[in-house]
Chain A
Amino acid sequence: MIKQEICKVVSNRQIADNIFELVLSGGISAEMGQPGQFVHVKTGGGFDPLLRRPISIASINEGTFTILFRWQGRGTALLAEKIPGMSVDVLGPLGNGFPVLETKPGETAILVGGGVGVPPMYELAKQLVKNGVKVISVIGFQSAKDIFYEQELGEFGEVYVATVDGSYGQKGFVTAILNDLEADIIYACGPTPMLRAIENGNYAAKTYLSLEERMGCGIGACFACVCHTKADPKGFSYKKVCSDGPVFKAGEVVI
């Protein structure tokens, strides 16, 4: 069930260039289950910034949950300043996450994360491994200074890293690594060009993509984050990224 709660900051630390890992406590964590869902976060107390910020859930624990964000504007700057004991107004969990049970025990799943698309892969990897699935993580960043969660994802299986400038791991994009891997299923979250390349690459029989779009309400009421469906690309049928997604099966919506 979706709840609104004033959560308490447990910890807030910088883990890469402009990337922060924020651990929050609250009963709302008991509502969270599916990896790939997000929370809608009010970054300040007043009415500026006005809107909430959609941030994916990186991990779910007993009484706490973790979100990662990139410091890039006024809202995230306020979040970066939060210290333990402070409050954060959270609405969630929102949206439909990755279907964990689509992968059977013994099968192999590749988890692809690009930049701030990496965080939801942590909880997904955790749940897949628990179900007896073999997990391979492929994560991409701009540069070595941007890398995070390489070790954390390493708890669950092999991790391959790509950097655009070649300062760490494979030079280029995650797709360069995907060419050499085989899996039953791919789960991906990251920038739209990356998702498009994965969809077009047909790297596995089944592919699920988590989309990103500017949102207003996060609950499906404002129609800000609407996309066309592949079946009716110019017509009136649509999906809302916030409440129908953010995870869609490859081929379901126009990205």
Chain B
Amino acid sequence: MSALSIELPGLKLKNPVMPASGCFGFGREFSQFYDLSLLGAIMIKATTPEPRFGNPTPRVAETPGGMLNAIGLQNPGLKKVFNEELPWLDQFNVPIIANIAGSTENDYVTVAEQLSKAPNVSALELNISCPNVKTGGIAFGTDPEMAKGLTKKVKEVSEVPVYVKLSPNVTDIVSIAKAVENGGADGLTMINTLLGMRLDLATGQPILANKTGGLSGPSVKPVAIRMIYEVSQQVSIPIIGMGGIQSAEDVVEFFLAGASATAVGTQNFVDPFICPKIIQELPEVLAKLGVDHISELTGRSWKKNERLAYYRP
């Protein structure tokens, strides 16, 4: 397994595969399928200071090769996550990345301060990219100055490294990435969902009660690859890549683009065993590539010109 182990700020990962936030709850449902200790890390569902019910239903709609969701950050609130969900996760030997969200700067600071004190939280993921809430969320992630300011505030109170989750719903993602790096971010996670909509021909109205939702799944993968390719050349902090990953080959592609670890989102809904499957398949794919350690692949698409000559699909 050593060909897969990765060290990132705050994180010692046995492998670079983790479930993405919002696609894995707090792990309870998936623990009936496999031992969560197999995972590189777990990105838990976004936590806000108070409980949130989220949006009315329908909250999901299918799209070609993907899905739209508008859950609306439903979560049991800071207190319950800290007192119940995190202690429950402690039975597994796996680092936790706590996704934090809110409507105001104060919300983020409150959640960051408290969750970063939990013994099994190794890092925070600052969610400035949720497209499905009316206030906060994406508003912080589309303005470089606001993103930088919030990152700074959260860094001041957090006892663990802070990763900032970037939104693809911007014209220039590099400027946001640089801004949060300047704000003190220890790493980036990208990408969150792309804002989209589907209409129902029977009613002429949007299918989602929230009207718009976040697009995820394999159809967004090329967007994620392109953005990680651009950003990784312009920042010096590591990137955890995500967006439509379905296989070990996809993980490799994210590394080549510039990622140092990866997260699997939507595919957990299709195949609950997908994360352990990818972890199991990775060594064989690396062997085919003639690579001794997965980290050799990071940014190879722009760092080196030579082909990965050994690959025989």
**Residues of A participating in the B interface, judged by any CB pair closer than 8 Å:** 1-2, 4, 42, 47-52, 91, 213-228, 235-236, 238, 243
Contacts and interface: CB of A to CB of B under 8 A. Distances in A.
A224 B60 contact: yes
B61 interface: yes
Number of chain B interface residues as a range: 35 or more
A236 B25 CA distance: 16
Interface of B: 22-25, 28-30, 32-33, 51-54, 57-67, 69, 71, 74, 76-77, 217-218, 246, 266, 268-273
B217 A47 contact: yes
A100 to B, nearest CB: 24
A221 B59 contact: no
Given A51-B269, A214-B59, A235-B53, A221 B24 contact: yes
B20 to A, nearest CB: 12
A223 B269 contact: no
A214 B210 CA distance: 14
Given A47-B217, A50-B62, A238-B74, 4 more contacts: A2-B32, A47-B270, A217-B29, A228-B53
A223 B272 contact: no
Given A2-B32, A91-B272, A216-B269, A222 B51 contact: no
Given A215-B60, A224-B59, A224-B60, A236 B51 contact: yes
Contacts of A2: 32-33
Given A47-B246, A51-B62, A214-B57, A224 B69 contact: yes
Given A2-B33, A236-B51, A222 B62 contact: no
Given A50-B67, A221-B24, A238 B53 contact: yes
Contacts of B266: 50
A77 B273 CA distance: 26
B218 A222 contact: no
* Chain B contact residues: helix, strand, loop or mixed: loop
A50 B53 contact: no
Contact of B67 (A1, A42, A51): A51
B272 A217 contact: yes
B270 A50 contact: yes
Given A238-B53, A243-B29, A223 B59 contact: yes
B269 A222 contact: yes
A221 B23 contact: yes
Contacts of B269: 51-52, 216-218, 221-222
B244 to A, nearest CB: 9
A220 B29 contact: yes
A207 to B, nearest CB: 22
Contacts of A213: 57-58
Contact of A52 (B59, B246, B270): B270
Contacts of B51: 236
B270 A222 contact: no
Contact of A47 (B25, B69, B76, B218): B218
27 contacts: A4-B271, A47-B246, A48-B64, A48-B65, A50-B63, A50-B67, A50-B218, A51-B67, A51-B269, A52-B270, A213-B57, A214-B58, A214-B61, A217-B269, A217-B272, A220-B25, A221-B25, A221-B29, A221-B30, A221-B268, A222-B23, A222-B25, A222-B269, A223-B59, A224-B69, A224-B71, A235-B53
